[in-house]
Structure 1
Amino acid sequence: MKKTALALFAASLGLLTACHEQSSPTTQEPTAAAGPQCYAHTSATDTVRLTLQATQPTLTGQLTYHYFEKDRNQGTISGTMHGDTLLADYTFQSEGTTSVRQVAFLRRDIGFIEGFGPVVERQGKTVFEKPHALTFDAKYTLLPVACPR
């Protein structure tokens, strides 16, 4: 069991650390070179952007939420893979206040799917009440995109 979990973690981390060329957001495949990975979900009015960099065993990066008629949230994430799920702390600024909340993204071949679930306050941050029971909706899939230069 431990070997399987470790192998899954290593494989997931390997996928995250791969740098890749942009052909189109839906057909981009990772390669073996190290570097940041960028993902985005866009709709007619909303954008979520995620940039990840592996600093083993931690994944760090930037996360931005820009929802129509809501305050823009922009900050950093730091977390680890748990099987095929990235659990991370998102530290962000909104309305002049720094906040920390837990975020979750399910790794799939096409990108990452954001997870949602009930939250509680613990030790000054917002965390998932039951991280093992999150809902992942494919309409919130972040697809690979070219990283800004």
Structure 2
Amino acid sequence: MKASYLLVAAILAAAACKGPKEDSPIDVHFSPDSVATAEIREGCFQYVNGKDTVRLRIQPDEVNVTGELAYLFHEKDKSWGQINGTLKDSLLVAEYTFLAEGDTSTRQVVFKRFEDGWREGYGEIQEADGVAVYQNIDSLDYGMGVNLVPIPCDQFQSKLD
């Protein structure tokens, strides 16, 4: 079982190193034409509500961002994986390739930078080339309560626990 997690982690890491796919459905809905990334640096963030946790580690490189994301919800499906995306102004728009319940999937995630951390956006979803993407990034709701605040990266754990 541990070997299968290591294999999946290696596959996800290799996929993240390749950079975003040029024909990615994420790119169809988001094209960075103005970028403000000076205030966004590598960091680790976490949301905790009771026994539910969301963890995000970002590693910006100019407009491109790679990192890790984990959803650890109590008594619900847990997922963890790699993000590969782009920064535009205060938005991080990324493909999230993750492992959940033994299957690997990809979906779009969007986080908006606020003074106190990152908030995840939610909205109507459509499928494009087998990937769940938001219909309109400009109309996402960031008030759903998932506010990721900074934590020291030595406390960051992305694995399912």
TM-score, normalised by the number of residues in structure 2: 0.72
- Per-residue CA deviations over 1:41-95 (Å, capped at 9, x if unaligned) read 0011200000000123211100000011112100000111222111111000111
Measure the CA separation in 1 of the matches of 2:154 and 2:69: 13
Contact 1:113–1:136 at 8 Å: present in 2 too? yes
Contact 1:16–1:52 at 8 Å: present in 2 too? no
Measure the CA separation in 1 of the matches of 2:117 and 2:81: 20
User: Residue 15 of structure 1 aligns with which residue?
Assistant: 39
- Per-residue CA deviations over 1:119-147 (Å, capped at 9, x if unaligned) read 11111211001111100016211000000
Q: Give yes or no for the alignment of 1:132 onto 2:132.
A: no
Point out which structure has higher relative CO (alpha carbons under 8 A, 6+ apart).
Answer: 2
Contact 1:16–1:53 at 8 Å: present in 2 too? no
User: Which blocks of at least 5 consecutive residues in structure 2 are unaligned?
Assistant: 1-32, 156-161
Measure the CA separation in 2 of the matches of 1:71 and 1:148: 25
User: Which secondary structure state, in structure 1, belongs to the residue aligned with residue 154 of structure 2?
Assistant: coil
Q: Looking at secondary structure, tell me which structure has more strand per residue.
A: 1
User: Residue 117 of structure 1 aligns with which residue?
Assistant: 123
From the superposition, tell whether residues 14 and 138 of structure 1 become closer, same or farther in structure 2 (CA, over 3 Å).
Answer: farther
User: Which secondary structure state, in structure 2, belongs to the residue aligned with residue 148 of structure 1?
Assistant: helix
User: Residue 99 of structure 1 aligns with which residue?
Assistant: 105
RMSD: 1.5
User: Residue 80 of structure 1 aligns with which residue?
Assistant: 86
Moved more, 106-115 or 136-145: 136-145
Q: Give the % identical residues.
A: 36
TM-score, normalised by the number of residues in structure 1: 0.77
Q: Looking at secondary structure, tell me which structure has more helix per residue.
A: 2
Contact 1:62–1:75 at 8 Å: present in 2 too? yes
